[in-house]
Structure formats: C-alpha cells, structure tokens
Amino acid sequence: MTKIIDGKLISAAFKEKIAEAIISLKAEQNITPGLAVVLVGADPASDVYVRSKGVATKKAGMNSYEHRLPAETTEEELLALIENLNNDDAVDGILVQSPVPDQINYQAVVDVIDPNKDVDGFHPINAGNLLIGSQGFVACTPLGCSILLKHTLGDLTGLDAIIIGRSTIVGKPMAMLLLQQNCTVTIAHSRTKDLDKKCAQADIVVAAVGRPEMVKKDWIKQGATVIDVGINRMGSTETGKAKLVGDVAFEEVSEIAGAITPVPGGVGPMTIACLMYNTLKAACDRRDLDIPDVFDEFL
C-alpha cells in the first residue's frame, strides 16, 4: 500500500525538539534566538508566507522581527536595512522574502547578508559549502525533503534519484544533498529529453517545477518514493479560496508509488521547520555553542 508521507507530523516532531533546545538555550545561556524576515511590497502569497514564518518563530520560543517595506523601496534602502540586521546582535537569522519588486536585484541583496545569519542558505558561501561538503546553512526546502526521505527510506545509498527542476533554491541544493547521501542523481529541467522515461527509472523522484500535476502515473516506477515540492494555486473553489496542487498528479501517482508527499501537508511544513532549525543553528554557531545531538535522528 502506498505510504502518504505526513510532513505535518514529521515537522511537528522536529519543531518540538527545536522548541526544547530553545528552552535549554534560554535557561542555560540566557539566549533567545531571533529571526528577522523582510518583505518588500504586498504580494499576497508572500504575505501569507511571512506571517506563517512569524507565527512559527514565536511558537518555537524565538524572537520574530518583521520588516515590511513599501513596494517602491530602492535596492539601496534594502541593502542598508540588511547591513543594520547584520550588525544587530539580537538577530541570528535574516531572510528576505522573494520575489522582490523589479527595481531590486534579489541576488545582490542575498550577497550582502552575513553568511553566518543566512538561514535561507542562499548566500554563495553557503551554496558553495554545500557543494564541497563543508558546514554551513542548507536551503530549507531541500533540507526538509532530505529529512522526509531519510524518515521514509532510511539509508539512501545506491538509490537512483531524479530531481525535476534546477533552481538554485530547490533543485541544485537537493541534488547536492542526495549526492552526499550516496544516491546516483539526475537533474532534469525544461530542456531534458524523454523526461517521462528518465523518471520511470528512478527510485526517488523530487518534483520542483511549478507546473500543476505534470508528473503522471506512467512516469513513476512501481514502489518509487515521490517528493512533490510544487505549490500551484488553482482557481477559486466554492469557498472562494485558491486550491493548492503540487507538480505531481497525486491521485493517479498514489496508485503506483511506494510513498508520496501530499500537497498541502508534505514538503511545505518541513520548509518552515527547517527555517526554525537553521535559526537555532545560527544562534548556536555564532556563539560557538554545540547544537544538541537530538537532531541527528532527523538530519
């Protein structure tokens, strides 16, 4: 029977450990980690993400600092704010919600974030550390996918994995994480030929494309594990709310996969949990404190 990988349940257990670690950090070191989230403009989806990050931060017992800037903010103004946050000792993690308005170069902003506070793991130093297998911050979504895979399959050594999507925030770091775990990795993208046939050979399929229900049943090998990163907002339902669907045709793929993540309730909750973990890690690393080893069972 197909296993539904419950990201809500797994992230709840992970967040519980994070909250416990934060209680100890406060009690033993008098440290409360802080996460600063910057939103420029009023994109409705970004607004929801920023709000849920703030809620999760406070629930974990950390300080949340929200900076909401008008859509006409210049790149210079945003860079000045980042400089302040870099120098603010109460701030352990900094995240700039994407997308940013056209007048701002997102990568230029990421480049000035102190790599030791780069809890998104998007700074070139952290991306490079992942590439060479050094310590650093790993981007939250691929880290969350990796935790789900470990939880579902245990040791991934020798498995064939295909990642559909080569973005710097999901596809590429995901490939690095799976390589580290001794998978044989294929990275597919919009120019890949015979994608369905390549997918059908994989033990693990990670879909990070942004195309609703693109991955079909006949793309999947019997018993494969399918991780659906996609979040696609479909037209209003009767309740007036947008329906979320993934990049995988969940109903039909469930008939053949060994395990599959739902959308919502799969990768999404893990992304936020990993952001909390990275913020805790930043607070510990910056003060040369060891992060508790209770996380070994997840990572």
Give catalytic status of residue 97 as yes or no. yes
CA distance linking residue 165 with residue 212, whole number of Å: 14
Where in 81-231 does DSSP place strands (E)?
Answer: 93-96, 160-164, 184-188, 204-207, 225-228
CA distance linking residue 40 with residue 190, whole number of Å: 30
Q: Among residues 14 and 285, whose Cβ is nearest to ligand NAD?
A: 14
Phi, psi of 92, deg, nearest 5: -95, -35
Where in 146-268 does DSSP place strands (E)?
Answer: 160-164, 184-188, 204-207, 225-228, 232-236, 242-245, 259-260
Sheet holding 204-207, edge to edge: 3-4, 259-260, 225-228, 204-207, 160-164, 184-188
Residue 271 touching ligand NAD (CB under 6 A): yes
Q: Show the binding pattern over residues 156-195: x = contacts ligand NAD (CB under 6 A), - = does not.
A: --------xxxx-xxx----------------xxx-x--x
Q: Among residues 271 and 278, whose Cβ is nearest to ligand NAD?
A: 271
Residue closest to ligand NAD when measured from CB atoms: 167
Residue 231 touching ligand NAD (CB under 6 A): yes
227: buried, middle or exposed (CB in 10 Å: 19+, 13-18, 0-12)?
buried
Q: Among residues 229 and 284, whose Cβ is nearest to ligand NAD?
A: 229
CA distance linking residue 191 with residue 183, whole number of Å: 23
What minimum distance in Å lies between the beta carbon of 98 and ligand NAD? 8
What minimum distance in Å lies between the beta carbon of 30 and ligand NAD? 33
CA distance linking residue 235 with residue 30, whole number of Å: 48
Q: According to CB under 6 A, which one of 18, 22, 208, 253 is a site residue for ligand NAD?
A: 208
Give catalytic status of residue 29 as yes or no. no
**Which one-letter amino acid corresponds to residue 148?**
L
Among candidate residues 15, 92, 97, 221, the one labeled active-site is 97
Give catalytic status of residue 120 as yes or no. yes
What minimum distance in Å lies between the beta carbon of 148 and ligand NAD? 11
CA distance linking residue 214 with residue 247, whole number of Å: 5
Q: How many residues bind ligand NAD (CB under 6 A)?
A: 24
Among candidate residues 114, 120, 228, 285, the one labeled active-site is 120
What minimum distance in Å lies between the beta carbon of 224 and ligand NAD? 17
What minimum distance in Å lies between the beta carbon of 271 and ligand NAD? 3
Residue 138 touching ligand NAD (CB under 6 A): no
Distances (CA, A) of 173 to 79, 96, 144, 168: 25, 19, 11, 7
Q: Which stretch binds ligand NAD (CB under 6 A): 35-43, 69-77, 204-212, 279-287?
A: 204-212
Q: According to CB under 6 A, which one of 268, 275, 276, 285 is a site residue for ligand NAD?
A: 268
Q: Among residues 193 and 241, whose Cβ is nearest to ligand NAD?
A: 193
Among candidate residues 15, 53, 172, 221, the one labeled active-site is 53
Q: What is the largest CA-CA distance in the chain?
A: 56
CA distance linking residue 268 with residue 10, whole number of Å: 11
Give me the residues that bind ligand NAD (CB under 6 A), please. 141, 164-167, 169-171, 188-190, 192, 195, 208-211, 229-232, 267-268, 271
Q: Give catalytic residues, as residue numbers.
A: 53, 97, 120
